[in-house]
Amino acid sequence: MIKLLNITKVYEKKEVVKDLSLEIEKGKITALVGENGAGKSTVLSMIARFMKVNNGEIMLDGQSIRSIKDLEMAKKMAVLKQMNVANVKLTIRELVELGRFPHSKGRLTAADHQAVDQALEYLTLHNIQHQYLDEISGGQRQRAYIAMVVAQDTEYVLLDEPLNNLDMRNSVNIMKILRKLADELGKTIVMVIHDINFASAYADNMVALKDGKLIRAGTVDELMNNACLNKIFGMNCNVQDVCGDKVCVYYKSS
């Protein structure tokens, strides 16, 4: 379980996260939602140790993340931030091999190769595994990065806007894969996501932030209602039941 205790982050004298306390449930998909600048990505970066916390403590399975060694941390938690193509020519398979780095430190064993094969299989990338990252489509590239995370074989997976720049079909595809990772492999997934309806359809829990403060945390059902969404996004939201999912209609909101 990831536990945030009274987290504060100050950026150029501005508090971007204020006294935030939060528990993230194991084995579930948790979506961080909120406006631009609400502090979602900052929270994710702090859990990932990309940024230092100014105040407070983040606990991972009862241990402060500050006391965990770098390589140990990388065996517990995988983070995917930007999916931009690296500046090197890498094939899909090579990228996924890099996901084994915390385990192999660069010398891949038979077990590592097997894990890479499984990850490629899992993301249905094995047919194109020798293609270069800059020669495939955005959706395939995103799957390649997620395969890297799968190969890293961590209990926790953090994702920052995994659907960024993806079309509808690829978005659905990615979300289904993430759902599978949580259900079949028992991974705890935390993601920042802007499309509230994707969060509603695929996440278990939602955490809503505004101006660096927690507005509400709970299950999707608890948060997907007009009053709550109005407060989170500061606009009129109209939540409807469509085909068993709660869908927020906001396109012509006043």
Q: Which residues bind other proteins (CB under 8 A)?
A: 48-52, 70-75, 77-82, 84-90, 93-94, 98-99, 101-102, 105-106, 130, 134, 152
CB of 85 or CB of 172, closer to other proteins: 85
Choice between 12 and 184, CB closer to other proteins: 12
Distance CA 18, CA 181 (A): 32
Round the CA-based radius of gyration of the chain to a whole number and report it. 18
Q: Which residue, among 74, 82, 76, has the nearest Cα to 26 in the 3D structure? A: 76
Comparing CB distances to other proteins, the nearer of 83 and 220 is 83
Tokens 């971007």 identify what position? 16
Task: For residue 95, give the nearest of 65, 120, 67 by alpha carbon.
Answer: 120
Q: How far is the CB of 154 from other proteins (least distance, A)?
A: 9
Shortest reach from residue 102's CB to other proteins, in Å? 4
Q: Are 6 and 20 in contact (CB under 8 A)?
A: yes
| Contact indicator for 32, 209 with CB cutoff of 8 Å | yes
- Give the SS3 label for residue 242: strand
Minimum CB separation of residue 219 from other proteins in Å reads 28
Closer residue to other proteins, CB minimum distance, 71 or 185 = 71
The least CB distance from residue 27 to other proteins, in Å, is: 21
